[in-house]
Amino acid sequence: WIPTLAVMVNNMFIFGASNSYGVFSTYYLNIKFPNTSASTLAWIGTLITTLMLGCTILTGALADKRGYRLTAYIGTVLCTTAYILASFCENVWQLILTQGVLFGIGASFLFAPSISIAPQWFNKYRGLASGIAVSGSSIGGLWFTAATQAMIDNLGPKWALRILGILTFVITGIMNLFYFRRVPAKPRNTLLDLRAAKSLTFWLITLESFAVYTGYWAVTFYIGTTARQLNGTYHDGSNLLIVLNAGSAIGRVAAGFIADKLGSINMLCLSLLLTVVIEMPLWMTAQSLAPLYVLCVLYGLISPTFISLNPVIVATYFDTDTLASVMGMTNLFSGIGILAGNLSQGAI
């Protein structure tokens, strides 16, 4: 449980940046760069998640070959550097390179070992443990959103980025000490292990990941702007993100617990179907803030279950000694889905 809890804390900082990016997105779109298109600004948040997931095809293999702890510490340094450099940026392209590219790459070094630890240490309670570990991403989005909004209001965006960088360096640096493997990696001469690519199961999992991530971040990125269009305030936008992340924290743990009873794939299919059912009518027909709050509660509870269940499914069908590598390969397609989905949504 100790490595699992360490992953939960680190996930607060890995996903906190992307889950709370809606606060920065609303600020950039409406105040700092009002003459810049949403599709251009979407590159910042999009690259965070695209590279965080896509680069795990390499960082996951590196974690299996060189060790989880070393890989995680590289991520800590890169993420901290990205925050500090972003705080000095004045142009969109500079933020794309720092807050987007550099942070995304750094996050992939932290994410690759993080996603692989909990499934290694559990069998009977694998779904629950994975849900608890991944719930850190929602908990991080919860307080990241509130803290980021407060720091922007009181200290300005530059100091908000610097403080987030300092917190990331200190806390993830401590948590990385508890990144222990249960199963030692088998020695191999090549960085990538492509044996999984010969399996139809692998390609079905990657197809599912691509499809889900294509649409997943739309609510996080644009719910704040939707609130503004319905005469809400910037704080209404951040409050909606807080509600969404609070629901996600509960939903991810509950999904893991239920999946241990019903089966991971059954739970995954049910949650994805319900996500579509609740998202389209509530968001598209909203004429006030009330339906948006209902949407965020339900979307938070139901939609992110695939984040906690995908590692469980991979661990069920593939050897745990190469889990980081296989997850990295599937996450490459997740990153491509994010790139395609987020940019097209920004244009729309």
Amino acid, res. 48: I
Tell me phi and psi for residue 230, to 5 degrees: -100, 25
Write down the residue that tokens 């996603």 correspond to. Answer: 115
Q: Which CATH architecture has domain 1-184+196-346?
A: Up-down Bundle (1.20)
pLDDT on residue 109: 92
What would you measure as the largest C-alpha separation in the chain, in angstroms? 59
| Domain locations in the chain as residue ranges | 1-184+196-346
Specify the range with the lowest mean pLDDT, choosing from 244-248, 258-262, 293-297, 320-324.
Answer: 320-324
| More confident position, 183 or 59 | 59
pTM: 0.73
- What is the spatial distance between Cα 213 and Cα 270, in angstroms, rounded to a whole number? 17
Q: Tens digits of per-residue pLDDT, 72-128?
A: 999 999 999 999 999 898 888 898 999 889 999 999 998 888 877 877 787 777 777
pLDDT on residue 18: 74
Confidence bin at 316 (pLDDT 50/70/90): confident
Please name which of 53, 159, 169 lies closest in space to residue 112, comparing C-alpha atoms.
53
Q: What is the mean pLDDT of residues 166-177?
A: 92
Please name which of 245, 236, 344 lies closest in space to residue 291, comparing C-alpha atoms.
236
